[in-house]
Structure 1
């Protein structure tokens, strides 16, 4: 009888530990290489972490060596999802499922360090035709707009710091980066010489994506982000974070 009792207690303990393990499951989400400096990534990471917390889930966000690699890893299921991308990437990465509440938005802005170009009117992608431009590899909406508008002279780089350099050292006519991410560089000495064209080339909403194997998260995260959108929490997080940059 003592042996059976011991076996019963052991089974109960194992089941208890197993249940605890399920509760403690941590979802692994990937993003690009500029996580420490990319304002979009930092702001949206706060939004997404809060959504997971509201869903009673835990999440860990990690940087990938490149923006494109991050998508590849997420689509292959080697991580559980992608921190944020524009709507429509599932056409190219069919294993990624969108959470249909925007977690932010991004504006594509052109900038230059060439004096002769600073007085030009740059207010659309079409304005960049016949000029060389630098962009980030793997930022799909910028890559797609470049192709759509038949921009030929393109230099792709892996990080925002590299993008800043190719423009600062006049290797290209224009760079294209996003607001609010470029604000990360306002204290960089290279930044002071640049001219940023304030009219966006385009504006896109950003969404969190998960791998299809994690479809049980869809309703939870949609509901959580819906609550955050309704009560203004998503906008509040973004505003407070950006305001801190100017202090």
Structure 2
């Protein structure tokens, strides 16, 4: 009888250990999220440093995969990824399967770059008409700025964009001003100049696939709290210093 009791107790202990292990494993994977970002863009690199800190305060760990803009959009909207780390407002209107976290946590400006010495003056988006405009494929803020432009040429990244400008295939290159300046530094060229730091400003948002709807409110509340405390701006300042 005692031997039977001991065996039963041993089985119960083993079962409890299995259950505890399963629960711990579930918790681990429940707190892991996988997001897409756009590769080779400065503002995305800033977000890659900031967003994990926001999630960490909620007890979550996130993994970010840089992709071409259109591929990132596809993977987020299809549910292959849990969402995208950073996009403009209109992105949410164009992708029905993602949900915008309501509070923006970063922003960017659409800047104008031309060849040094070029007789071009651009004060607004309307002034772009009549020029050959270059942009990075799939980047929404420059897509919005060039909606009514006839001659628009896409490049895969900012380096290719500026090389198109240097060889004369385009008259104007549009990108975020910080990303543009960072790329000019990497290329080590002085034949391109920034003539307008901002012809359009866009707040930037985090997007979640609709399967993660339960994350929207806690992430939004965390962004608000970190904005109010000043912690978010501190993280952004540190990230910009590291990236740019």
TM-score, normalisation: structure 1: 0.89
Contact kept? 1:133, 1:176, Cα under 8 Å: yes
The residue correspondences of 1:1-247 to structure 2 (distance < 5 A) are 1=4, 2-25=6-29, 26-34=32-40, 38-64=41-67, 66-113=68-115, 115-117=117-119, 120-147=120-147, 150-243=148-241
- Separation in 2 of the partners of 1:196 and 1:67? 24
- RMSD of Structure 2 on Structure 1 (CA): 1.9
- Separation in 1 of the partners of 2:88 and 2:187? 31
Give the Å deviation of 1:186.
4.2
Q: Provide the aligned length of Structure 1 versus Structure 2.
A: 238
Query: Which protein has the larger Cα radius of gyration, Structure 1 or Structure 2?
Result: 2
Contact kept? 2:109, 2:197, Cα under 8 Å: no
- Separation in 2 of the partners of 1:199 and 1:234? 24
Give the Å deviation of 1:242.
3.2
Most deviating of 202-211 and 39-48? 39-48
| Distance change (3 Å), C-alpha of 1:218 and 1:244 | closer
Cα deviation 1:150-181 (Å, max 9, x = unaligned):
20111111212211211122210011000322
Give the Å deviation of 1:3.
4.5
> Helix, strand or coil: the match of 2:196?
coil
Contact kept? 2:158, 2:183, Cα under 8 Å: no
Contact kept? 2:34, 2:64, Cα under 8 Å: yes
Cα deviation 1:39-66 (Å, max 9, x = unaligned):
21122122211110011111011111x1
- Separation in 2 of the partners of 1:156 and 1:130? 17
Give the Å deviation of 1:77.
0.4
Most deviating of 233-242 and 127-136? 233-242
> Helix, strand or coil: the match of 1:138?
coil
Give the Å deviation of 1:245.
6.3
Give the Å deviation of 1:9.
2.6
> Helix, strand or coil: the match of 1:29?
strand
Contact kept? 1:123, 1:199, Cα under 8 Å: no
| Distance change (3 Å), C-alpha of 1:189 and 1:72 | closer
